[in-house]
Amino acid sequence: MKSLLFLVLTSICWAEPHSDNSSLEHERIVHIQAGNGPRLLVVAEQAKIFSHRGGNVTLPCKFYHEHTSTAGSGTHKIRIKWTKLTSDYLKEVDVFVAMGQHRKSYGNYQGRVLLRESSENDASLIITNIILEDYGRYKCEVIEGLEDDTAVVALNLEGVVFPYSPRLGRYNLNFHEAQLACLDQDSIIASFDQLYDAWRSGLDWCNAGWLSDGSVQYPITKPREACGGKNTVPGVRNYGFWDKDKSRYDVFCFTSNFNGRFYYLIHPTKLTYDEAVQACLKDGAQIAKVGQIFAAWKLLGYDRCDAGWLADGSVRYPISRPRKRCSPNEAAVRFVGFPDKKHKLYGVYCFRAYN
């Protein structure tokens, strides 16, 4: 009589959709249960967390076994891993790993992240001194033996989206140049979610610009013939994905609040660009960047009806209270242009960072 030995591994797999359909509509959290023991669950108490540049934030994450009050089985060490998700769903950026007493942080998160550990099942991640690049979605993964589960938390930053094109004019930036252009102006390239939120808040711009996922889009709140047709519906228009090296467009940048003082320099005379740079330096500051004038206007309500030089050679002025001769129709950062640096005379906006 022959005897047969069967090794049976039973598993149960199911998917749960996210409740937030704006940026996670195509994702599923897949749970895998090995054997018949209590299932390991990872839960984020909040799906979205809001903060600002320079602040501290806690991304919530807790783990436990279903139908029990225990955090772990006790037979395996718990491994906690935090990663940042990217627009490419196949790639993740390592942020922090903990197992037992061992801790490791990665990249520009080094020295800025730690576990909260308010209880034995608390895997929440604390991020200190937040920078613009911290914006995005984070995955908390807990592994115990053959079991693991994940939760996703979105970190949103208070800030402002603004369109940007260089002195060369519209549609002169490939994707990589667009990223650098935003960084040069104290900002980062905006995500679709950030542009969408800006559109919902009234941003209307007829020039297409790069976004962080490599797509090219533009927001229209007032449909008109020159911007896709006057009979179209308002929305964020999508040009699709283009060659990051060869295709050229403008860019939408995102910036947040700053740790410093933005101000119009009171000076007895108007200045050339070089004189403006030196005047700010003499005042213990630097000539302000485009991202800083937008942040001061949007987040601080800064209002000044004087056109002034900025670091990129453009001349602009921020109006929070529309009035005659000063943007009578809307609150905006008004753009004068890129004047001749050697011969045109204007005031200057300066920025002094706090220590």
Superfamily of the domain at 259-353: Mannose-Binding Protein A, subunit A (3.10.100.10)
Q: What is the pLDDT of residue 23?
A: 38
With beta carbons less than 8 A apart as the criterion, state whether 86 and 72 touch. no
- Tell me how many degrees the CA angle 257-200-130 measures, rounded to the nearest 5: 25
pLDDT at 170: 93
Q: Are 47 and 138 in contact, with CB atoms under 8 Å apart?
A: no
If the chain, 355 residues long, is cut into consecutive pieces of 10 residues, what is the mean pLDDT of each piece?
A: 38 40 38 57 95 96 75 71 88 95 96 95 97 97 93 96 95 98 98 96 96 97 90 93 97 95 97 98 98 97 98 98 92 97 98 91
Q: What is the pTM of this model?
A: 0.84
Cβ atoms of 212 and 86 closer than 8 Å: no
Give the pLDDT of residue 68: 57
* CATH code for the domain defined by 40-65+77-157: 2.60.40.10
| CATH number of the structural domain 159-255 | 3.10.100.10
Domain ranges of the chain: 40-65+77-157, 159-255, 259-353
Residue type, 4: L
Q: Is there a shared CATH topology between the 159-255 domain and the 259-353 domain?
A: yes
Question: Residue 15: what pLDDT?
Answer: 40
